[in-house]
Structure 1
Amino acid sequence: MATTAPAKPHNAPPSTKAEIVDVRYPHKELVERLSPGGRYIDAQTDVDSPWVPFGDTAAIKHLAFDVRRNLFSNILWVKGPGVVGTHLHRGTITMVCLEGSVKYLEYDWVASPGGLILEVPGEAHTLVTDHPDGVKLFGWMEGPIEFYDDNGDFSFTADVWWFIEHYENYCKEQGIPINEKLYL
């Protein structure tokens, strides 16, 4: 019986050319015509997106809205020790802890800066930060998030449309132009 040698790992190709290279690939013209293109959103300042209050002790910096997939991205900032009430995810959530720390009462871990948080549809969580400076979480969220009160009764649903309205209403109230770069 013949055996095959294991494949060798590939290294990144060498490059010394610091200029745009014309890459030819199938459907390039369609991509150039129809793609919304890449973009940069400054998350360090309020140039591209302001901090929008989310309750009394938190704020959200909206980064992207994709209405086709009910997908949205933002940074959640809980400004000191506090809680974001119990919520049930109906889609996948991927977050990175940027500053501070956070935990879910339902788990035995605490996320710290650089830590990756993965959440699956169908689970309810109660987000808590005990850190004196609170927490900042960067997230990509897909699908609706259902929020519940302290008795477990349904309060409201936050989906891409809710997050767009949250952003746009604040901008209108503050006289801030709507940033079209946030819409994919």
Structure 2
Amino acid sequence: MNDQKLITKLPDEPHEAMIHRFGKEGAFIPGDDENNPWVPFGEQAAIKHLAFDVRQNSAANILWVKGGGRIGTHRHRGVVSAVTLEGSWGYHEYDWVARPGDFVYELPGTAHTLYSDDPNGMKALFWLSGAIEFFDDQANFEFTADVFWFIDHYVTYCEANNIPVNKDMFI
């Protein structure tokens, strides 16, 4: 085997023709603010949407909570994974604080209140599966956020601000 030669084409597989004929290719989702805006989420936060998968009821996004901000108490109905990108954040109900590079996973049924007391705020990449139920400060149900809520959040903002909807986000 010659180490200097790179394999540029894998051997054909029987299903390859079907993948090319019917499959959806992967996508590139730009992270710049002009093509992929920060969509306000309450007064202290914003969401940069990255992907919507209606088949799995899942969504990927970056949550930005500005310094001293919080996200209301919410309960997950699916698994959530997060990687902290900037700043620090935690949940009032737990004794840890996530910092850049930290990984957090949340199991269905957990309820908590996200906060960031970092003066520069926080940004974390989230992959959300299933619905999230939000509650007010008196524990009254407010709304459910699922993949369809996230799609509406993004599309409504784009249409109101004459920003093209990136159809590559829909997987």
Identity %: 51
In structure 2, relative to structure 1, the CA distance for the partners of 1:82 and 1:32 (3 Å cut) is same
1:27-176 map, 5 Å: 27-43=15-31, 45-176=32-163
Match of 1:7 in 2: none
- How many residue pairs end up in the alignment? 170
Give secondary structure in 1 for the equivalent of 2:73: strand
Superposition deviation, residue 46 in structure 1: 2.4
In structure 2, relative to structure 1, the CA distance for the partners of 1:154 and 1:27 (3 Å cut) is same
Superposition deviation, residue 117 in structure 1: 0.6
CA contact (8 A) 1:41 1:48 kept: no
Superposition deviation, residue 134 in structure 1: 0.7
The ranges of structure 1 where at least 4 consecutive aligned residues each deviate by more than 3 angstroms after the TM superposition are 14-19
In structure 2, relative to structure 1, the CA distance for the partners of 1:174 and 1:120 (3 Å cut) is same
The aligned amino acid for 2:23 is S
Partners of 1:16 and 1:122 in 2: CA distance = 52
CA contact (8 A) 1:97 1:136 kept: yes
In structure 2, relative to structure 1, the CA distance for the partners of 1:32 and 1:148 (3 Å cut) is same
Which has the higher Rg, Structure 1 or Structure 2?
1
The aligned amino acid for 2:24 is P
Across the aligned residues of Structure 1 and Structure 2, the Cα RMSD in angstroms comes to 1.6
- TM-score, normalization: structure 2? 0.94
Partners of 1:95 and 1:111 in 2: CA distance = 10
The aligned amino acid for 1:151 is Q
Superposition deviation, residue 31 in structure 1: 1.4
- TM-score, normalization: structure 1? 0.87
Q: Give 5+ residue unaligned stretches, structure 2.
A: none
